[in-house]
Structure 1
Amino acid sequence: MKKKSKLERKIHLFTKKNIPLQKTAIHLLLLLTFLFLASSIGYVFQRLAFPEATIVLVYLLAVVLSSWLIEGFLFGIASSILATLAFNFFFTKPYFALAVNEASYIITLFIMILTALITSSLTTRALQNALSAKEREAESRAVYELIKQLTIAREMPEIASISVHVLSTYFRCSVGILYCDDDNKLENFFLQENPNGEIVHRRVSQLEKLQNQLLHSQGKVILGEEFHDWAIVGRENLFGVLRLPNEKANKLSSAQMNLLLSMIETISLAMESFYATESRLKERERVTQERFRSNLLRSISHDIRTPLSSVLGSTEMLLDMTKSEDERELLQNIHKDANWLHSLVENILNLTRIQEGKLLVNKELEAVEEVVGSAINRMDKLLLPYKLSVNIPLELLLVPMDAKLIEQALINLLDNAITHTPAGNEILVTVKKDRKKRNVCFIISDTGRGISENELPHIFEMFHTAQNKGGIGLGLAICQSIVNAHGGEIFARNRENHTGAEIIFTLPMEEKNYA
Structure 2
Amino acid sequence: MNFFKNAPEKGKGIQDHYSAMAPFLIRMSILFSFLLGASLIGYSFKALQLQETNIAIVYLLAVLLTARYTGGYLFGFWVSLFAAFIFNFLFMEPYYTFSVNTPNYIITFTIMAITAFITSTLTTHAKQNAIQAREREEEAKALYSLTNRLTDAADIPEIADIAASAVCEMLNCRVGCVCFDESGKPDEAFTRQFSPKNGTTKEVTSQKSFFDWLISGRDSTLGVIRIPMDDAKRMTSTQTRLLQGMIENTALAMDRFHAAEQRRKTNEAIVQERYRGNLLQAISHDLRTPLTGIMGTAEMLLTMTGKDDNRYELIKEIYGDADWLHSLVENILSLTRLQEGKLVLHKQEEAGEEVIGAAVHHVLHLHPEHDIWVTAPEELLLIPMDAKLIRQVLINLLDNAIKHTKPEQEIQVSLKKENSGNYAVFSVCDHGEGIDASDISNIFQMFYTSASRRNDVKLGVGLGLTLCEAIVKAHGGEIKARNRENGPGAEFIFTLPFKENFHESK
Task: Tell me if TM exceeds 0.5.
Answer: yes
Gaps of 5+ in 1: 1-7, 207-224
Q: Rate the CA distance shift 1:149–1:428 in 2: closer, same or farther, 3 A.
A: same
- State the one-letter code of the partner of 2:216: V
In 2, the alpha carbon distance for the partners of 1:272 and 1:296 equals 36
Out of 468, 474, 477, the position equivalent to 2:453 is: 468
Partners of 1:488 and 1:507 within 8 A in 2: yes
Out of 328, 331, 341, the position equivalent to 1:344 is: 328
Deviates more, 1:312-321 or 1:136-145: 136-145
Aligned to 1:483: 472
Give the alignment's TM-score, normalised by structure 2.
0.82
Question: Could you tell me how far 1:348 is from its partner in structure 2?
Answer: 1.0
Aligned to 1:66: 66
Tell me, what secondary structure is at the counterpart of 1:231?
strand
Q: Deviations over 1:227-284 (max 9, x none)?
A: 3333322333222223344334434455554444444333333322222222222212
Give the alignment's TM-score, normalised by structure 1.
0.81
Q: Rate the CA distance shift 1:399–1:205 in 2: closer, same or farther, 3 A.
A: same
Partners of 2:353 and 2:415 within 8 A in 1: no
Aligned to 1:356: 340
Q: Rate the CA distance shift 1:91–1:431 in 2: closer, same or farther, 3 A.
A: closer
- State the one-letter code of the partner of 2:481: A
In 2, the alpha carbon distance for the partners of 1:77 and 1:396 equals 96
Aligned to 1:295: 278
Matches within 5 A, 1:402-417: 402-417=386-401
Q: Deviations over 1:355-414 (max 9, x none)?
A: 223332213455556544544454456414x33234366987765432321232222122
Out of 272, 282, 286, the position equivalent to 2:255 is: 272
Q: Deviations over 1:192-220 (max 9, x none)?
A: 331226263433327xxxxxxxxxxxxxx
Partners of 1:100 and 1:106 within 8 A in 2: no
Q: Rate the CA distance shift 1:377–1:12 in 2: closer, same or farther, 3 A.
A: same
Name the count of aligned residue pairs: 485
Deviates more, 1:391-400 or 1:171-180: 391-400
Question: Could you tell me how far 1:16 is from its partner in structure 2?
Answer: 1.6
In 2, the alpha carbon distance for the partners of 1:303 and 1:318 equals 24
Q: Rate the CA distance shift 1:434–1:25 in 2: closer, same or farther, 3 A.
A: closer
- State the one-letter code of the partner of 2:123: T
Q: Rate the CA distance shift 1:387–1:87 in 2: closer, same or farther, 3 A.
A: closer
Structure 2 residue 434 is the aligned partner of structure 1 residue 450 = yes
Gaps of 5+ in 2: 1-7
Tell me, what secondary structure is at the counterpart of 1:444?
strand
Partners of 1:322 and 1:328 within 8 A in 2: yes
Structure 2 residue 203 is the aligned partner of structure 1 residue 202 = yes
Aligned to 1:125: 125
Out of 224, 227, 238, the position equivalent to 2:221 is: 238
Partners of 1:431 and 1:440 within 8 A in 2: no
Aligned to 2:318: 334
> Identity across aligned pairs (percent)?
46
In 1, the alpha carbon distance for the partners of 2:441 and 2:336 equals 24
Matches within 5 A, 1:27-106: 27-87=27-87, 97-98=96-97, 103=102
Aligned to 1:138: 138
Aligned to 1:191: 192
- State the one-letter code of the partner of 1:363: K
Please give the root-mean-square deviation of Cα atoms over the aligned residues, in Å: 3.5
In 1, the alpha carbon distance for the partners of 2:23 and 2:204 equals 40
- State the one-letter code of the partner of 1:468: R
In 2, the alpha carbon distance for the partners of 1:365 and 1:175 equals 70
In 2, the alpha carbon distance for the partners of 1:391 and 1:72 equals 93
Deviates more, 1:125-134 or 1:344-353: 125-134
Tell me, what secondary structure is at the counterpart of 1:430?
strand
Deviates more, 1:97-106 or 1:159-168: 97-106
Q: Deviations over 1:84-128 (max 9, x none)?
A: 455556556676x33678636555555444443333333222222
Partners of 1:161 and 1:199 within 8 A in 2: no
Question: Could you tell me how far 1:452 is from its partner in structure 2?
Answer: 3.1
- State the one-letter code of the partner of 2:26: I
Partners of 1:81 and 1:113 within 8 A in 2: yes
Question: Could you tell me how far 1:512 is from its partner in structure 2?
Answer: 6.9
- State the one-letter code of the partner of 2:147: I
Q: Rate the CA distance shift 1:175–1:454 in 2: closer, same or farther, 3 A.
A: same
Partners of 2:211 and 2:232 within 8 A in 1: yes
Partners of 1:228 and 1:243 within 8 A in 2: yes
Q: Rate the CA distance shift 1:57–1:169 in 2: closer, same or farther, 3 A.
A: same
Partners of 2:352 and 2:415 within 8 A in 1: no
Matches within 5 A, 1:299-338: 299-323=282-306, 325-338=309-322
Q: Rate the CA distance shift 1:320–1:228 in 2: closer, same or farther, 3 A.
A: same
Question: Could you tell me how far 1:52 is from its partner in structure 2?
Answer: 4.5
Tell me, what secondary structure is at the counterpart of 1:153?
coil
Q: Rate the CA distance shift 1:231–1:434 in 2: closer, same or farther, 3 A.
A: same
Question: Could you tell me how far 1:472 is from its partner in structure 2?
Answer: 1.5
Aligned to 1:153: 153
Q: Rate the CA distance shift 1:488–1:143 in 2: closer, same or farther, 3 A.
A: closer
Deviates more, 1:104-113 or 1:403-412: 104-113
In 1, the alpha carbon distance for the partners of 2:74 and 2:486 equals 95
Tell me, what secondary structure is at the counterpart of 1:192?
strand
Question: Could you tell me how far 1:302 is from its partner in structure 2?
Answer: 0.9
- State the one-letter code of the partner of 2:490: A
Tell me, what secondary structure is at the counterpart of 1:125?
helix
Deviates more, 1:147-156 or 1:366-375: 366-375
Partners of 2:480 and 2:494 within 8 A in 1: yes
Q: Rate the CA distance shift 1:76–1:400 in 2: closer, same or farther, 3 A.
A: closer
- State the one-letter code of the partner of 2:309: E
